[in-house]
Amino acid sequence: MDTIQSPATHSLATGAARAHLRRLAAGTLMPGFTGIAVPVWILEAYDAGLAAVCLYGTNVASPVQLRELCAGLRAHSPNTLIAVDEEGGDVTRLHYLTGSTQPGNAVLGRLDDVELTAASASAIGHELAGLGINLNLAPDADVNSAPDNPVIGVRSFGAEPGLVARHTAAWIRGLEDAGVASCAKHFPGHGDTTTDSHLALPRVTADAATLDARELVPFRALVAARGATVMTSHILVEALDPDHPATFSPRILQDLLRRDMGFEGVIITDALDMAGASAQTGIPEAAVRALIAGADLLCLGSETEPALFEQTITAIADAVGDGRLPMERLADAVARTQALSSRFPAAGAAEIQEAAIRGQLGLPGQPQHAGVPAEPKALDGERIAEAFEVSEAAERWLAREEPVAIVQVETGSNFAVGRVPWGPAATTSAVVREGEVPDGARVAVVGRGLDAEHPLWTVFARLRAEGHAVIAVECGWPRGGADIVTYGASLTVSQALTALLNGTAKA
């Protein structure tokens, strides 16, 4: 005889099922948050099943504050994923206030020593592990085939697929050997774009053969290296799926990446607050579409508010209830994300504090967790300078004996970089305004993204007209015309540049 549920019993059962479904939905989300302290709603979200959080530069006020923030997150949720964009080079979050102590991908690609690349990634990994951060949204595995790419550029190892592939694999090895999960990005390749997906939806028009021989080569290296995660891109790749951006394309995520390429790790979306993802639909619907397509962990963006977080959970739960999102797909995403946190256990709050104490007292060693070996030494400035492109005109300028003046022309940055100090102005050297250049000085005018319309060229022309010996320095990806190209603007690259210009380092 069938049991007939009372309305109250049915309501309780339905409520329990709904609560379980919402907990699963939370287990696919990775919000950011505003401020330099953990907000209460994040702690409540952890209690409700939240999978991860992502830290951004605006969450950093000082090294001590960042350490305390991470320790607080770990104390409340020891097994959570704490993520960050710490690519090294121009894109840094830990060193948002000063600039990165690592040279960045383009410099490493120019040096083309995979052991140096692995060592740079290992150094980043050790720093992250010491804070209890166990997921790094790096490396950038894009082949930068468009010189005027507004968002990739020096974040890429280079324009040659084989080079990018071997350095992607080395970077993954160095980071993951330090106990931190990697995330190769931006699948299936953001290098052949001239639109920033933060602002609009880029289109890639290359044919399938070109994509296979260029864009996909580094991601095959990711699969071979058994990298932990991959990040999707909000780009429309016409040859692969003319109707859906990669983040929302089952053809690209399930058929190509999972089935054809054999990737078994976690698929993470690029931030869903970007215009390329959600300008037309809003973030909650973008989250549903990404899960349906095959994504596992959804990056919501840097300034997630509790209302948006709740709306996204509701949208996911409703999509399961409506049959748009299969329960099996949602459960698979949660299981993959949980397996990732188990594969990369992080330092606990006590170990983070131990690391802080040892650092404050000047004691050697790392907290003992995850079998992390000793941290490698940083790359020295003269080795970094070997990656610079130096013209004959610049070599003649460097050989002159007049006093040196450096003028840095302020240049905006893309959303991925943010407002990080860059160039000689970020170092301890004196940088002067154009009107303060001494008579008789030779001048290096420094900028980045030096297209034909860049204001640097006006400054350059005026100083040359005044009789100065002038060179132009590009602190980004070369676009033509610069006398020195550094392929990056991080603190350590800028220090190497400053030493070169001042004659205290070899060309």
Q: Which residues contact 159 (CB under 8 A, 6 or more apart)?
A: 143, 144, 145, 191
**Percent helix, strand and coil across the chain, each rounded to 5?**
45, 10, 45
- The HSE-up count of residue 160 (CA atoms within 13 Å, CB side) is 7
Using CA atoms, how far apart are residues 205 and 183, in angstroms rounded to an integer? 25
Give the count of alpha carbons within 13 A of 407, CB side only: 27
What is the rounded distance in angstroms from the CA atom of residue 424 to the CA atom of residue 501?
A: 10
Question: Rounded to whole angstroms, how far apart are CA atoms 305 and 82?
Answer: 18
Clarify whether 2 is annotated catalytic: no
For residues 401 and 78, what is the distance between their CA atoms, to the nearest angstrom?
A: 59
- List, in order, residues 6 or more apart from 68 with CB less than 8 Å away: none
Give the residues across from 484 on adjacent strands: 390, 473
Question: What is the full DSSP assignment across 162-212?
Answer: HHHHHHHHHHHHHHHHTT-B-EEEEET--TT-SS-TTTS--EE---HHHHH
* Given the residues 270, 273, 296, 483, the one annotated as active site: 270
Burial 351-388 (b: 16+ CB within 10 A, else e): bbbbbbeeeeeeeeebbebbebeebbeebebeebbebb
The answer to whether residues 121 and 443 touch, using CB atoms and an 8 Å cutoff, is no
The neighbour count for residue 162, using CB atoms within 10 Å, is: 12
C-alpha dist (Å) from residue 437 to 66, 278, 396: 39, 47, 20
> Alpha helix (H) ranges present in 263-305?
275-278, 283-293
Q: How many residues does the chain have?
A: 507
Q: Hey, which residues does 268 pair with through a beta bridge?
A: 231, 297
- Alpha-carbon distance 75 to 72, whole Å? 5
Sort 220 into a burial class: Cβ within 10 Å, 0-12 / 13-18 / 19+.
middle
Residue 452 CA to residue 261 CA, distance in Å, equals: 41
Q: Choose among 137, 13, 143: nearest CA to 87.
A: 137
CB within 8 Å of 313: residues ≥ 6 apart: 22, 25, 26, 29
For the purposes of burial, counting CB atoms within 10 Å of the CB of 1, is it exposed (0-12), middle (13-18) or buried (19 or more)?
Answer: exposed
Residue that is written with structure tokens 């397996």 in the block:
339
Catalytic residues: 270
